[in-house]
């Protein structure tokens, strides 16, 4: 465990973070959820940068992590923040099985695992924050995420260095769905060696958001990604 982890995880949550890292490095690798080469750098590349996202979430938030995979960032957020109520949404059985076992092993009674696609929850559930990591380009991510965002909530997604180009490509979808101007946030400056980029998208006029929300299925020139 690198010293930098102690800067982003509360001291009383460190044992949970260490146990989760152990699960990823063992069962996660065996089940193909984490590549063998990733095991030695789990803290720097995965746990620490996901934990930085916790600072963007309001106290006591309901959080939906779509395309959760091995629990990044959703399970990390639940470990870092005991006040959150987290729903992990993942369509693949082998991943949800791992998530359910991890939640039980860590005793995280404020975490729910849902097997299914994000759009299966449209019209049924709403959350204060919808998170994701490396799921899809922003134009498609908006269509999957925003119908789950309550009027006063926001999409908060981990992104890469091309996020500003993604925002420009998503302009038609942002306008069609009634979203506010996206905020690009650089997390961890002065705290960790490698910063994390996130984008936050809220509603332009929360008072005019109503359901069922029409989620467009944009055409994207970006590389096709799996549906979360």
Please report, in range form, the residues annotated as the binding site: 67, 72, 133
Q: How far apart are CA 198 and CA 184, in angstroms?
A: 6
Q: How far apart are CA 171 and CA 166, in angstroms?
A: 9
Known binding-site residues for S-adenosyl-L-methionine equal 67, 72, 133
- Give the end-to-end CA distance of the chain in Å, rounded to a whole number: 30
Q: Cα dihedral sign for 92, 36, 161, 70?
A: positive
Residue with tokens 């984008």: 199
What DSSP assignment string belongs to 158-211? EE-TTHHHHHHHTHHHHHHHTBPPPEEEEE-TTTSSS-EEEEEEEBS-GGG--S
């Amino acid at each position: 465990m690198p010293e930098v982890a102690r800067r982003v995880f509360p001291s009383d949550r460190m044992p949970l973070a260490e146990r989760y890292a152990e699960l990823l490095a063992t069962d996660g690798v065996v089940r193909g959820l984490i590549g063998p080469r990733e095991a030695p750098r789990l803290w720097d590349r995965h746990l620490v940068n996901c934990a930085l996202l916790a600072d963007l979430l309001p106290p006591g938030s309901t959080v939906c992590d779509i395309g959760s995979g091995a629990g990044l960032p959703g399970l990390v957020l639940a470990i870092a923040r005991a006040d959150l109520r987290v729903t992990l949404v993942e369509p693949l059985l082998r991943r949800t099985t791992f998530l359910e076992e991890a939640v039980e092993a860590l005793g995280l009674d404020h975490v729910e695992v849902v097997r299914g696609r994000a759009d299966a929850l449209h019209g049924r559930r709403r959350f204060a924050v919808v998170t994701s990591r490396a799921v899809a380009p922003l134009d498609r991510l908006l269509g999957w995420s925003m119908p789950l965002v309550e009027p006063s909530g926001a999409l908060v997604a981990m992104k890469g260095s091309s996020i500003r180009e993604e925002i420009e490509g998503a302009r038609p979808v942002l306008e069609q769905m009634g979203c506010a101007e996206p905020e690009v946030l650089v997390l961890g400056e002065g705290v960790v060696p490698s910063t994390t980029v996130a984008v936050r998208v809220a509603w332009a006029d929360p008072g005019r958001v109503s359901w069922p929300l029409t989620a467009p299925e944009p055409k994207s020139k970006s590389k096709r990604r799996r549906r979360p």
